[in-house]
Amino acid sequence: MRKTWVLMTLFFVVIIGIGWGFSLIYNAPEIIVIAISFSVIMNVVAYWYSDKIVLKMSGARPVTREENRELYTMVENLAITAGLPLPKIYIIHDQSPNAFATGRNKEHAVVAVTTGLLSMLDKNELEGVIAHELSHIGNRDILISTIVVVLVGFITLLSDFFLRMTLFGGGRGDNRGDGRIQFIMIVAGLALAILAPIVATLIQLAISRKREFLADASGALLTRYPEGLASALEKIAAHGGRMKKANHATAHLFISNPFGARAKKGFNRLFLTHPPAEERIKALRNL
């Protein structure tokens, strides 16, 4: 919970910093007021509604025990073993094998899996993946990971908006003033608008990579069969397919990068949210 408050405070400071920079460029103090208001609103939205936003973005739908008794029973048994309340279970209709957990706490948690994952893995492998996701819930990292989706996305959009204003809008300062000062402020605003989403993305990546190794180890301890998850990760990595609704904002939530093999090529390499599958598999088999 402490990390969550640190992240939300950092978001608040970044947004105010962006607003302050552009209020100077445009000589418009009201921009600071707008920035503060938006940062407060987005923090509230991120805390209470980020899980619903993630599910909507992923195209996930809830599943009942009657619809998929085997999956439901598996999640229920593993949740009991982990000492967790039964999370809500969602399915994503996508042939790419993947899964994620979300929610603000263990009492309001969700586990989502793709149809491709259900069709590709055997029972031990699927248990390994479910245990991995339940470990995210038990390790209390689902809230911060879910909040990151909203906050990082908002910082990126806001920075892009200010960047366009700077490039095409011009300043609103006094034309009789020193043009060099105005130029310096515009350059500073451009730098701020460009660096803000980069910093936000670095926060996203740092959180994701650490938690994946931890969830792998915790999931293996939960099932007492590390080979199940290791084998599942091998199959998922070998598939290499891209999810239909792959999104950079939500990529860090999934057990494997939703961009598949494309994640290691071109522009997507800048947004790698997961450790290499080979490293994770090796760590599991060394347990």
Neighbouring-strand partners of residue 89:
111
Query: What is the CB neighbour count within 10 angstroms for residue 199?
Result: 14
Which of 133, 212, 234, 279 does the annotation list as catalytic? 133
Query: What is the CB neighbour count within 10 angstroms for residue 10?
Result: 14
Amino acid identity, position 262 = R
58 Cβ neighbours under 8 A, 6+ residues apart: 92, 100, 112, 245, 247, 250
SS3 99: strand
Q: Are strands 99-103 and 60-62 parallel, antiparallel or unpaired?
A: unpaired
- Cα–Cα distance between 112 and 92 in angstroms, integer? 7
Q: Is 133 a catalytic residue?
A: yes
Cite the active site residues: 133
